[in-house]
Amino acid sequence: MCGIVGIVAQRPVNQALYDALTVLQHRGQDAAGIVTWSDDGLHVRKSNGLVRDVFHQRHMLRLKGNVGMGHIRYPTAGSAQSAEAQPFYVNSPYGICLAHNGNLTNHDELAGLLIREDRRHLSTGSDSEVLLNVFAHELQHRCNGQPSPEQIFDAIEAVHRRCKGGYAVVAMIIGYGIVAFRDPNGIRPLVIGRRHAEDGDEFAVASESVALDALQFELLRDVLPGEAIFFENSGAMHSREYSGKTRYAPCIFEFVYFARPDSIVDGLSVYKSRLRMGEQLAGQIVREWPDHDIDVVIPIPDTSRTAAVQVAYHLGAKYREGFIKNRYIGRTFIMPGQAERAHSVRRKLNAIDLEFRGKNVLLVDDSIVRGTTSKQIIRLAREAGARKVYFASAAPPVRYPNVYGIDMPAASELIANGRSVEEIREIIGADRLIFQDLRGLIRSVRHNDSEIREFDTSCFSGEYVTEDVSTEYLQALERQRSDAAKSQRDQSDDNDDDDSADRVVFASVVEDDADAAINM
């Protein structure tokens, strides 16, 4: 999962891009990058690390211009020390920078075609670079001079025909403007904002509406599935809906875990969705366990708080904050590697003994993915003196890989894959385990008046909306992107410093002085 933002303004955008990325930091903590354009050229700063660590005053002063884009990343593919920080750049045609959120399911096929037939060079294993080169190739075939909005939109239609999977994209055509588009299934989110300025309107696109809120942009709407948007440097906005087949099926896991609760995604309130998840979950607990002996409901901070409040209310039980979170530890689900996730739990959470001692406790979490965190937290609750520890998930069991940009590609790493609820309960050590059912989750997220009629629920149901995900593909994905594979790549990088340095330079330099180079 990643976060993207692009801005065309009447004033310098460096601070606005920084602020937007900071607000989107929950979507990735591995790397960050900003690219801006001014009359004296292109300016870039990108590196591994959090936004606050990547950008210092000297970097911000060099990011000049009224047009720019940014990206924050965690490694769905690649290693934790990856040199594949975005945005990526190609110099033909015009010079194009691109960043994206999601995953191409036909990445390997496309990469081969780009090299063999389109005669384009790829310097990384990132599907974002593949997307960039597909777009650049299609645009080059349609433009001889200044690109028109129609030529840009034709190129994006060709991208949709060639690329499969889930993706939300922001790209900057150097000297002309910002382009944004979304996959024809609308899997990954993308919103448009506008702000009135003295010299004209300013526009922004971002992964979530909270980024627009922070910049005081008005949320106009979501980018539709397959739709393309072009913001000229002058401030003019153009759009075109995709002429091919579309299907509005946003990823439901955005509402379960990834999106911030104060975001509006595809016209749906994340906060209200999580409130309803709690209501639905409470109803399920009452149906399955009408004579429950729960004394207190305690959320596992932070994502599950909203649902846990409703669970407690509808069960007539006390709601208490039983865990104190160290806010300087990253989100464990998106940490690279199982060992790192397990090690971080005790550094991240500390139990308040008073709320556990001698009580039957219901712990509420948003979901259970690998089960490592759940097992550790249940152990913490027992050590704090809980008499019994029950566990409830606001989402159904995660049994299948997510192939559209969320880091759960290996079925063998999912605790629910091939296991019953009772088997999962035994592994995590709970006295009782309750999962939300899928129908309840869908009801929770979808408002009655929503235009959304379906969601990508593939990690729960095993049904993939792109209809191109085979057993062979999933097996190959597991070999490439499991924690074991990533660990092996990390070890290889550590043992080959010279090659690693070459890759860093070749992938458009990410060291401290990289931003001083105008030409990437």
User: What is the set of active-site residues?
Assistant: 2
Q: What residues form DSSP beta bridges with 400?
A: none
Phi and psi (nearest 5°) for 360? -90, 110
Rounded Cα distance, 520 and 511, in Å: 13
Token duo for residue 104? 């191409």
Rounded Cα distance, 44 and 64, in Å: 9
Amino acid at 137: H
**Could you write out the DSSP letters of every residue in 46-57?**
EEES-HHHH--H
Rounded Cα distance, 330 and 235, in Å: 37
**CA–CA distance from 365 to each of 18, 26, 277, 375 (Å)?**
31, 17, 11, 12
Rounded Cα distance, 365 and 301, in Å: 8
Nearest one of 16, 67, 40 to 516, comparing CA atoms: 40
**Could you write out the DSSP letters of every residue in 188-253?**
S--EEEEEEETTEEEEEEESSHHHHHHTT-EEEEEPPTT-EEEEETTS-EEEE--SS------BTH
Question: Count of alpha carbons within 13 Å of 439, Cβ hemisphere only?
Answer: 2
**Could you write out the DSSP letters of every residue in 448-510?**
TT-S----B-HHHH---TTS---HHHHHHHHHHHSHHHHHHHHHHHHT-HHHHHHHHHHTT--
Amino acid at 293: D
Token duo for residue 198? 């003295």
- How far from each other are the two terminal CA atoms of the chain, in whole angstroms? 25
Nearest one of 81, 109, 10, 107 to 403, comparing CA atoms: 107
Nearest one of 475, 385, 484, 387 to 431, comparing CA atoms: 387
Number of Cβ within 10 Å of residue 259's Cβ equals 27
Nearest one of 187, 182, 154 to 170, comparing CA atoms: 182
Q: What residues form DSSP beta bridges with 365?
A: 393
Query: Any residues with CB less than 8 A from the CB of 460 and at least 6 apart, and which?
Result: 252, 395, 396, 397, 398, 399, 400, 438, 441
